[in-house]
Structure 1
Amino acid sequence: MNSFLFHPNLADCRRLFLRDYEVQINIGVHEFEKKGEQRVLINVDLFIPLDESTPSHDSLDEVVDYDFMRSTIAKRMAQGHIHLQETLCDDVIKAMLAHPKVRAARVSTEKPDVYPDCHSVGVEVFRIKESQS
């Protein structure tokens, strides 16, 4: 279990997630990686305060839509080649935290086709938005 789930600033939050979102993306520092797309798996967790995500009218506009996560990732991918998974994670998490209802986020990326002797290589980042006092 990830320890960030027990952070006291997240106790009043709902967790929204996107699991193993498979994309083809231009990513990598090696010359062979710059010549085409490769498969990347992206995972996102968003932590949204219950008072910002508990619908009273069963309406989509009362919550954060899953499409927000997918479209945010698509916008970053459309910007062109990325050298590092760290850059991709940092850019995606920054955009996720820009949503006014999101208090915290976790983003991970995995490249499953890099080495034949392991499942994947990847990066993960977790951030909590600073208080808006």
Structure 2
Amino acid sequence: MPDYTVILDDLDVAMRLGIHPHETTPQRVRLSVHLRVRYAHPPSADRIEEVLDYDFVRDGVHALATGPGFALQETLVEAVASLCLADARVREVRVRSTKLDIYPDATVGCEIVRTRD
């Protein structure tokens, strides 16, 4: 069974993320998601129905961004990982979030790797 890595990289969204008073309004957050996906066989018909359509990840992240928000980046990356693992073909997911505007000289982020048992 072949494994493929599907990548959604540098997705910028505005969302509520943080614990500080100035973080109650949406701020820029960049997300990158790497999914290791296992298929029963290599795609042969060159049709989207044979593979994981990464639109569901992008749409899910946008839905999370328009929700009530998160206090912690750790909670955000867990939510994105859970979203991805809802597809049984996903064997492993790596999610990275980065706050882009906290410091003038650095970004701050969090990364998680979750694997299917």
Moved over 3 A (4+): none
Deviation for aligned residue 1:12: 4.4
Which of 99, 109, 112 does residue 122 from structure 1 map onto? 109
Aligned partner of 2:80 in structure 1 is 92
Query: Which has the larger share of strand?
Result: 2
Indicate whether 1:14 and 2:1 are aligned: no
Does the residue aligned with 2:93 lie in a helix, a strand or coil? Answer: strand
Identity %: 36
1:81 alignment partner, SS class: coil
Q: Shift of the alpha carbon at 1:75?
A: 2.4
CA distance in 1, matches of 2:63, 2:39: 27
Where does residue 76 of structure 1 map in the other structure? 64
Higher relative contact order (CA 8 A, sep 6+): 2
The one-letter amino acid of 1:91's match is: A
C-alpha separation in 2, matches of 1:72 and 1:101: 17
How much does 1:68 deviate? Answer: 1.5
- Partner SS state of residue 40, structure 2: helix
Structure 1 residue corresponding to 2:32, chosen from 40, 43, 47: 43
Instruction: Find the residue that maps to 1:43 and give its secondary structure.
Output: strand
In the other structure, the counterpart of 1:7 is none
Once the two structures are superposed, residues 54-101 of structure 1 have per-residue CA deviations (whole angstroms, 9 ceiling, x without a partner) of: 212111011001202101212222331211111100111011111111
The aligned length equals 117
Partner of 1:3: none
* RMSD of Structure 2 on Structure 1 (CA): 1.5
Structure 1 unpaired stretches of 5+:
1-10
**Secondary structure, aligned partner of 1:90:** helix
Q: What stretches of structure 2 of length at least 5 have no aligned partner?
A: none
TM-score (normalizing by structure 1): 0.82
